[in-house]
Amino acid sequence: MEAIGKGLAGKLAAAFIDNKLTGILVIVSFFLGFIAVMTTPKQEDPDIVVPMIDVIVQYPGATPPVVEKKVVEPIEHQLWQLKDIEYLYSAAGDGWGIVTARFYVGTDPVKALVELNSKLMEGVTHIPDGVKLPPLIMSKSIDDVPILTLTLWGKNYDSYELYRIAAALEEELTKINEVSDVFVVGGEKRKITVYLDPQKLEAYHVNPLQVIQVLKAANFGGDNGFFVKDNRVITVQTGKFIKDKRDVENIVVAVYRGKPVFLKDIAKVVDGPGEVKHYVLFGTGPAHEEKGIKEDLKGELPAVTIAVAKKKGTNAVDVAEKVLKAVERMKGTIIPDDVHVTVTRNYGKTAEEKFDELIKHLFIATFSVVLLIAVALGWREAIVVGITVPVILALTLFFSKLYGFTLNRVTLFALIFSIGVLVDAAIVVIENIHRWMSMGKVTPREAIILATDEVGNPNILATATIIAALIPMAFVGGLMGPYMRPIPINASTAIALSALIAFTITPWAAYLLLKNVHVHEEYDVRKTFFWKLYTKIVVPLITSPAKKWAFYLTVLAMLAFSLWMLVAKLVVVKLLPYDNKSELNIVIDMPEGTSLEETARVAKTIADEIVKKQNIVTDYQIYVGTAAPFDFNGLVRHYYLRKYPWQAEIHINLVDKEHRAISSHEFAKLLRKKVHPLAKKLGVKNLQVVEIPPGPPVLSPIVAEVYNHDYKVAQEVAWKVRQIFEESPSITDVAIYADVDRKKYRIEIDEQKAKQNGLDKRQIWAIVAMALYGYDVTTLKTTDFEKVPLIVKFPEGKVSGIDRLLNTKIMTPLGKEVPLKELVKVEKVPVEHTIYRKNMRRVVYVCGDVAGKYEAPIYSILDVRDKVLSIPNPYGKIEEYWYHLPPAGDKHVAIKWDGEMHITIRVFKDLGLAFAGAVFLIWVLILAWFKDYRIPGIIMAPIPLTLVGIIPGHWLMDKIMGNVFFTATSMIGFIALAGIIIRNSILLVDFAEQRLREGVPLHVAVVESGVIRTRPVLLTAAALIVGAFVIIFDPIFNGLAVSLIFGTIGSTTLTLVLIPVMYYYSKLKRLKKQPGYVVPSPEEVKKDLLAD
């Protein structure tokens, strides 16, 4: 009678082994995988949906405390009612306020914007008069991050000319369908500026206010109606709009001695750039030729940068290619031949490089595993595995697309990580088929079905336990969640598919390739070399309780030593390792009030003396008084709001990582050593060398949030914290979110004198505006890309300093000239400091980055913690918080450790809960399967033993490679191994149980399970190691690779001995309770097992 398996696996094998449709299913699987690869968007990082919405309000003349009380707090109270908001970040400045609502990860951005806007409008009635309404609402998400930036520069072009070219280019690039936003950074926009001549104004008796009124009237008009004539509608339009400089010059502003006074008689009209309000400069480094930049610039040239963002769900690689092709087509037309276009960011290219690299790793891992099977079992068995693995990967990619994942480094790493696991089921099946066919007891077809059936149930259980270990990781919260989620989802999908394919396609392929294989001899396990070796190890342990306990204590000592290595800092714990990017930034904050020119001088000095001289620098851009195109890190840190004259940023591009000897992190450390001493000499307030983080961005790796209701006290404590940070050798890049003291002039209008001269406040304010920065009168009606404002002002140099401002003469309606100083009172007062808030609490941020031997926030914080908590203050002891914010209304000064430390605690907490959940699920599955309360404990014993390999493995690889930390990916590897390594235990215990049911003595069943199941156990372990090895050199995922490799080595070695021994003593204890059971003596056991 034909052998048909009793279990699900056997029945599936019998159904598919020679079914004609099986081959078709293989082809269809490949086709689905191909479709998935071709249609799934490719990008470097996962899609992270975390809506961040800024509400920006102007309240002219209000001090920060007033803005906080009257504007910021009411907005906060309104928005805090929304349940999906996780954080509210606020700032109240001199005449302005901003509230940033950060929603929980995964919140629908459209829903978030609608709900916020609705709730905000409900509270508008609480906003006082004088506040400019409606507030500016800016919604930002990861889709707003530019994937491509192009910097335009040329020796013969200034910033105004470059901006005109960039604006035309911007208009064309916005027409590309996949592009969502294009914006230009830098350059000077076109303006019509009217420079009034005070002497000519006086000579012609023209009041500046009169000029403003005339210009406004000259640019006013519109349709007044229509009339009907000859059955036709004729429209009547009144007025003529100002279109160009000539129109402005020929406007009559007054009549003097019976003759018209044209504007050109009393003013100089300039069509072109206005005052310089920011700088964007381009420079080259020693490695400029490697990027194709032929010119070696001695200094920096004016530049503008075009930033391009893609639409959600589009392919970053394709969008970048389309934009670059469009730019290439416009060279020689819109872009002059002598204007250079340098690609200063291309996330499409980096995504493609990462995709190609990971696909290569995927092929290497697959080939390595197939080669392993060929060496261990034979080339036919290797081909079987070689067929099943691509099928699993193809189907996994297809399901990943259906789930909504993109093809990014995390989803592909999940597949690489899965390689060593997803072949486990196939290896166990093919190895058992190999063993059954070697015995030659049944036909090849029957052998394949029975072999599949024999290992089917433990394979199903093992697959369930691995999935149970992985799935809880999908529920990690916060910004880290989207980075981790593809790993458990894709890996679980691949592993589930691997079990199904092991029972269907593996038997089919095996029958196709192995059915005609000739069997040479009967298989006898007792004649194998491994039987002799294994019995020499195990028999003493099952015959001598003393040796058993010595073995147990040795294992526990090894585990204790491994954990001690963490405590002793031999292995450094860090959330995420350092990436190796080809870009980084130097962020510069001068003291508040520093001029644009001084900030530019400092930034250029740093660039010329340090950045420009580094051998691996290809090019750099300096942004002063304007925000550089932001990345995801800059989005979270709100770098796009850095538009003050005292703020600057140097964006540095490096040669590709393949062409440099050091990583970007090592370069950043080198840069810090050189740049900080220079910055101190130049009077820089804050300087940070910002690396691109490999995971979720934070305000800074180390953040001390100082809370107190008395903001002056909070600032005093924060400055002392900053000093402690600066003195610590384990902290660098220290910065503080607190203003330095500075002064401003407050001009109060004397209303009585103003009225006596026929003037009101608004008119005098207009004169002051014209004297300082210009009065924006109107907008020209032109066909330019952007609006062209008409500005009226006094020339530079005519008004400089407060004294000259006060001597500015104003022509009154009575025809009398009055100096401004007779109409106003001037007082020099301090500028009140900006007030920062977080979740409706006042806070001062002190930031830093890690330095020294242990480059992880926890060690740096512990180094300074005692000093920080000992800072004297009027409110006694400083309260400390690690996870939650201090309670509202607490009068004590409180320190909350945030930044990477907060995410580290949250992630490891979530992973710890995930691990606990995984262990519980595994325990339930094993208990439900074996129906014995003792067996789950035995099978799960190897879980902690993985640490015996994992922790020393990290220490060893750190010595070999450097910068190998115990990271979140290491923890993922540990949790994954909890499920993976249990497969070995299940195979051992299940086989022993089968042999006991067949009447074999306990000691024989235990040893046979160890010997017979050793080969599949070692093969699956080797496959896991080989699959993980290809990612051990990746800077981000090497922690995962180290955990998988060394955890597998450590636990597998111990499992093969520990599990049979533990099972033997547990089962023996139960058998002794059975009536009539005779316990064999140690001599009988030795004789039975060690006899030749």
In this predicted structure, the answer to whether residue 5 has a pLDDT above a threshold of 70 is: no
Rounded Cα distance between 770 and 754, Å, is 18
- Give how far Cα 78 sits from Cα of 55, 118, 119, 127, Å: 12, 10, 6, 12
Confidence of residue 715 (pLDDT cuts 50, 70, 90): very high
Q: What is the mean predicted confidence (pLDDT) over 460-467?
A: 84
- Residue 700: what residue type? S
What pLDDT is stored for residue 221 in this prediction? 67
Report, in angstroms and rounded to the nearest whole number, the Rg of the chain calculated over CA atoms: 37
- Tell me how crowded residue 563 is: count the other CB atoms within 10 A of its CB: 13
Map out the domains of the chain with their CATH numbers: 1-39+377-523 (1.20.1640.10), 50-140 (3.30.70.1430), 190-275+743-830 (3.30.2090.10), 524-570+932-1092 (1.20.1640.10)
DSSP letter assigned to residue 71:
I
Q: What angle is formed at CA 715 by the lines to CA 712 and CA 717, rounded to 5 degrees?
A: 110
Question: Which helix (H) or strand (E) element contains residue 877?
Answer: none
Residues 1019-1063 pLDDT 10s: 878 888 888 888 888 777 888 889 989 998 988 888 888 888 998
Residues 917-971 pLDDT 10s: 888 888 888 888 888 888 888 888 888 888 999 999 999 998 888 788 898 888 8
Number of residues written out for the chain: 1092
In this predicted structure, the answer to whether residue 363 has a pLDDT above a threshold of 60 is: yes
Name the least confident of 483-487, 607-611, 897-901.
483-487
Q: What is the mean predicted confidence (pLDDT) over 660-681?
A: 93
Q: Render 86-114 in DSSP notation, one character per residue.
A: EEEEEEEETTEEEEEEEEPTT--HHHHHH
In this predicted structure, the answer to whether residue 857 has a pLDDT above a threshold of 70 is: yes
Rounded Cα distance between 199 and 817, Å, is 12
In this predicted structure, the answer to whether residue 1092 has a pLDDT above a threshold of 60 is: no
Asked if residues 41 and 315 have their Cβ atoms less than 8 Å apart, the reply is: yes
Longest distance between any two alpha carbons in the chain, whole Å: 135
Q: What is the mean pLDDT of the chain?
A: 87
Confidence of residue 596 (pLDDT cuts 50, 70, 90): very high
Stated pTM of the model: 0.87
Q: Residues near 953 by Cβ (< 8 Å), separated by ≥ 6?
A: 1042, 1043, 1045, 1046, 1047, 1049, 1050
Among 736, 948, 968, 972, smallest CA distance to 856 is for 968
In this predicted structure, the answer to whether residue 433 has a pLDDT above a threshold of 70 is: yes
Q: What is the mean predicted confidence (pLDDT) over 650-675?
A: 92
What pLDDT is stored for residue 1 in this prediction? 38
Rounded Cα distance between 838 and 47, Å, is 26
In this predicted structure, the answer to whether residue 852 has a pLDDT above a threshold of 60 is: yes
Share of the chain above pLDDT 70, in %: 97
Name the least confident of 368-382, 581-595, 1077-1091.
1077-1091
What pLDDT is stored for residue 82 in this prediction? 94
Distance of CA 211 to the CA centre of its chain: 53
- Give how far Cα 688 sits from Cα of 61, 158, 601, 700, 736, Å: 32, 30, 18, 9, 11
What pLDDT is stored for residue 800 in this prediction? 59
Name the least confident of 124-138, 178-192, 219-233, 760-774.
219-233
Rounded Cα distance between 359 and 341, Å, is 31
Q: What is the mean predicted confidence (pLDDT) over 430-439?
A: 78
Residue, of 329 and 477, whose pLDDT is higher: 329
What pLDDT is stored for residue 445 in this prediction? 84
Residue, of 1023 and 54, whose pLDDT is higher: 54
What pLDDT is stored for residue 522 in this prediction? 54
- Give how far Cα 393 sits from Cα of 30, 87, 444, Å: 9, 39, 28
In this predicted structure, the answer to whether residue 797 has a pLDDT above a threshold of 60 is: no
Structure tokens at 212: 């403003």
In this predicted structure, the answer to whether residue 521 has a pLDDT above a threshold of 80 is: no
What pLDDT is stored for residue 288 in this prediction? 92
In this predicted structure, the answer to whether residue 524 has a pLDDT above a threshold of 70 is: no
Share of the chain above pLDDT 90, in %: 37
Rounded Cα distance between 717 and 877, Å, is 12
Confidence of residue 161 (pLDDT cuts 50, 70, 90): very high
Structure tokens at 956: 């060893």
3-state secondary structure 635-685: HHHCHHHCCCCCEEEEEEEECCHHHCCCCHHHHHHHHHHHHHHHHHHCCCC
Asked if residues 254 and 206 have their Cβ atoms less than 8 Å apart, the reply is: yes
In this predicted structure, the answer to whether residue 4 has a pLDDT above a threshold of 70 is: no
